[in-house]
Copies of this chain bind each other. A is one copy, B any other.
């Protein structure tokens, strides 16, 4: 599939070194990296090459640079991550913040579909989280979240879960989400949707099927969200 470059630019090699260090947790979220100058000296490249690497990682939101202060591991804070991967809004654009309704968790053997979607071994175990989230106090989202138990050991004991799971993934398990692949479809509300969201059975709902990807392209979470489409839209900008 992927190209064999046959030629590997220096900045590419340096990039790989730095991202490996980040993935290994050499620095904690929010912690400062050495300065551009010092990193360049340590890795034996010019400041310009080092800058190219750090700028690329900044564009990927793995790092943050602040003029006059330094270069930091990007933190999945509520404010920052919230609107990055949570795309629900009021029609016209007003962004929303969900709050927690009910939740439950259990650990069990992975099903075949889960092993496929998350690229897990035959005997892998998963954590299954179910929760209902509220928008302005009204039940609006049913989420089913499947996590590889090996990556998130003991997460099922950490209830109640924070509103922003990705913040917990990073601070509690060293897992940084860098991208999500989503597939949206329209479906009809089931009896369960009716019970948990209070909408009519047969009402239209938005279903979001998401795979979240971590730093080293590892598939880390499979999330199915069923969204009451009443006065809610999924807002996205394509560029």
Which applies to chain A's interface (DSSP): helix, strand, loop or mixed?
strand
Q: Which residues of B contact A180 (CB under 8 A)?
A: 237-238
Oligomeric state, in number of copies?
Answer: 2
Q: Which residues of B contact A89 (CB under 8 A)?
A: 183
Q: Which residues of B contact A205 (CB under 8 A)?
A: 186, 204
Given A60-B239, A238-B85, A239-B60, residue A204 in contact with residue B182 (CB < 8 A): no
Roughly how many angstroms separate A188 CA and B206 CA in the complex, as a whole number?
11
User: Are A186 and B186 neighbours in the complex by a CB distance under 8 Å?
Assistant: yes
Q: How far is the CB of A93 from chain B (nearest CB, A)?
A: 8
Roughly how many angstroms separate A233 CA and B209 CA in the complex, as a whole number?
10
Q: How large is the interface on A (under 10, 10 to 19, 20 to 34, 35 or more residues)?
A: 35 or more
Residues 196-210 of chain A, each 1 if its beta carbon lies under 8 Å from chain B, else 0? 000000111111010
Roughly how many angstroms separate A184 CA and B233 CA in the complex, as a whole number?
5
A46 at the interface (CB under 8 A from B): no
Q: Which residues of B contact A229 (CB under 8 A)?
A: 185-187
User: Are B185 and A235 neighbours in the complex by a CB distance under 8 Å?
Assistant: no
Roughly how many angstroms separate A148 CA and B227 CA in the complex, as a whole number?
34
Give A contacts to B, CB under 8 Å: 60-61, 84-85, 87, 89, 91, 93, 178-188, 202-207, 209, 227, 229, 232-239
